[in-house]
Amino acid sequence: MRSRFKALAAVAAVTAFAAGPAWAERMVDESADAHPRGEVDIANTAGQVTVTGWDHEQVKVSGELGAGAERLLFEADGRRTEIKVILPRGSSSRGSSDLEVMVPKGSRVSINGVSAEIMIREVEGALRLQTVSGEIDVEVYGEDVEAKTVSGQITIRGQEVPALLVLNTVSGDADISRIRGELVANSVTGDLDISSAELARARIRTTNGDIDLSTGLAEGGRVDMEAINGDLRLDIINDVNAEFDIETFNGSINNDFGPDAEAVSRYTPGKSLRFTEGDGSSRVRIKTLNGTISLRGR
Amino acid sequence: MQAARRLPDNISPRRDLWPAIAARIAADERQMERQDRWRPFGMVAAALALVAVSSLVTIWVTDDPAPRVVHQISPGGMAVPARSAPLAAGFGAGVTLGPRYERARQELTQDLEGRLEELPEPSRALVERNLQQIRAALSEINAELSKDPNNVLLQQLLLAAYQDELAVLMNVNKMVQTLPLRTEI
């Protein structure tokens, strides 16, 4: 009797070992037909999400579910595909899962994460990205892009194609290059480093971070930069045809062209600089409380 | 009839009663004066007793302890309030942004306080430190604007800083709301 019990226990143990613990790391590989300009919604709490556009009308996800993840939800219904790493209810583990997702190039992609890193390549549809502390690294084509993070670094590389780009970061830095079109960027303490061949509209604000913008101004373009304690620097890389309205309450203004800044009054330390260069078709407005403003032109 | 006519016109009392009556009237007035003097004190005492009793009843019914300011040690070693309440939204000396704005700001702040628990500890501390930086900037600009109320630059920066504060509150609130933290099926 005792030996039979031992044999049963051994079989059970081997079976359990072979099956693996319920939430051990495991591979996933799923695919489904998708609309060429459909929506793909992805949620992964921690780990990495890499999305790449391809020429097939199919969404394919592969990768590894982390220990702590319960399973992968993969649902496609023609125009919308949902991919979600499911964590067990009540679990304190956030599970680190790595997903590689292939989507039709024209897809609109939305990604939510907590500490997940997000990387997107060759996706030409609109992007809506959010991660609390993970990094966001994106290629931007002609569609709108919205990226939000608390502390993650944002890296955006454009394709010199006009698009609307909206970025919100609390303390994460942003490095943005080769963009065109319209840019709205806000940070509290993160530094914003932006280079563009030409911008039609830009509104960039920070509380205590620094802003470094190097751009050409489109005809009739508008650039608005504000900071409380950060330093603001604008390099205009094409011919300068703009009206400038620049003011600091307690900082200094360095101007590479045009007139020098003047004191606002005899009683305050503020400086202001208002002038027109070229035909004045664009407008540049830069304001700060305590920061230094540097203006450079070609 | 003749007997009636013989009666005297006035009958004087055997003794003078007035001094005793006057003494009693004076004693009553003194007592009333004393009572009037103590009446306000009595009313105040009654009001205080009423307030005290109603406060005790309220505390007993709501069982709501007084709010505590929790402090934590920041990574930099400096003590910072874990839940820093925003100061009243002023706009220079004697000007406020009004009750509707205050209400919206307070609601967002309260919502965020509840939801911050969902964030990992480093992100939570970071959001709070950054909100403190915005609020420090608001205080600084407000102080300058109080000294120089007509300064347009300060007015612009202050309004934008208030908008930044609301934007951070709203964005982080929305972010935390949409976090894929737990299974939803």
DSSP sequence for A133-182: SS-EEEEE-SS-EEEEESS--EEEEE-S-EEEEEEEESS--EEEEEEEEE
Between A12 and A24, name the one with better pLDDT. Answer: A24
**Does the beta-carbon distance from B182 to A207 stay under 8 Å?**
no
Phi and psi angles of residue B145, each rounded to the nearest 5 degrees, phi first: -70, -30
H helices of A66-116, in order, are none
Give the gap in angstroms from C-alpha A10 to the nearest C-alpha of chain B.
34
Helix (H, G, I), strand (E, B) or coil at A289: coil
pLDDT of residue B3: 62
- Residue A7 falls inside a structural domain: no
- A139 and A251, same domain (yes or no): yes
Q: How far is CA B94 from CA B41, B123, B155, in A?
A: 37, 36, 14
**Does the beta-carbon distance from B183 to A89 stay under 8 Å?**
yes
Residue A254 has pLDDT above 70, yes or no: yes
- Residue A4 falls inside a structural domain: no
Q: Where does the pLDDT of residue B41 fall: very low under 50, low under 70, confident under 90, or very high at 90 and above?
A: low
Per CB-CB distance under 8 Å, the chain A contacts of B179 are 45, 112, 114, 132
Residue B66 has pLDDT above 70, yes or no: no
Q: How many domains does chain A have?
A: 2
Give the gap in angstroms from C-alpha A7 to the nearest C-alpha of chain B.
38
**Does the beta-carbon distance from B133 to A226 stay under 8 Å?**
no
Per CB-CB distance under 8 Å, the chain B contacts of A268 are 148, 151
For A94, which residue in chain B has the nearest alpha carbon? B181
- A88 and A152, same domain (yes or no): no
- Residue A184 falls inside a structural domain: yes
- Pick from A89, A116, A143: which residue ends a domain? A116
**Does the beta-carbon distance from A73 to B120 stay under 8 Å?**
no
Task: Give the count of beta carbons closer than 10 Å to the beta carbon of residue B135.
Answer: 17
Strand pairing partners for A283? A222, A243
d(CA A183, CA A201): 6
Domain residue limits at A39: 22-116
Give the closest residue to A227 by CA, choosing from A139, A294, A135.
Answer: A294
- A157 and A230, same domain (yes or no): yes
The pLDDT tens digits of the residues spanning A149-163 come to: 999 999 999 999 999
- Residue A2 falls inside a structural domain: no
Tokens of A54: 């391809």
Per CB-CB distance under 8 Å, the chain A contacts of B130 are 170-171, 188-189, 207
- A236 and A189, same domain (yes or no): yes
- A205 and A291, same domain (yes or no): yes
**Does the beta-carbon distance from A170 to B168 stay under 8 Å?**
yes
- A143 and A101, same domain (yes or no): no
% chain A with pLDDT above 70: 90
Q: Where does the pLDDT of residue B7 fall: very low under 50, low under 70, confident under 90, or very high at 90 and above?
A: low
- Average pLDDT taken over every residue of chain B: 70
H helices of chain A, in order, are 2-19
B116 at interface of A, judged by CB pairs closer than 8 A: no
- A244 and A105, same domain (yes or no): no
CATH number at residue A85: 2.160.20.120
The pLDDT tens digits of the residues spanning A126-135 come to: 999 999 999 9
Give the closest residue to A194 by CA, choosing from A48, A181, B2.
Answer: A181
Residue B5 has pLDDT above 80, yes or no: no
The ipTM, to two decimals, is 0.74
Q: At how many degrees (to 10) do helices B121-147 and B152-177 cross? A: 160
Q: Where does the pLDDT of residue B33 fall: very low under 50, low under 70, confident under 90, or very high at 90 and above?
A: low
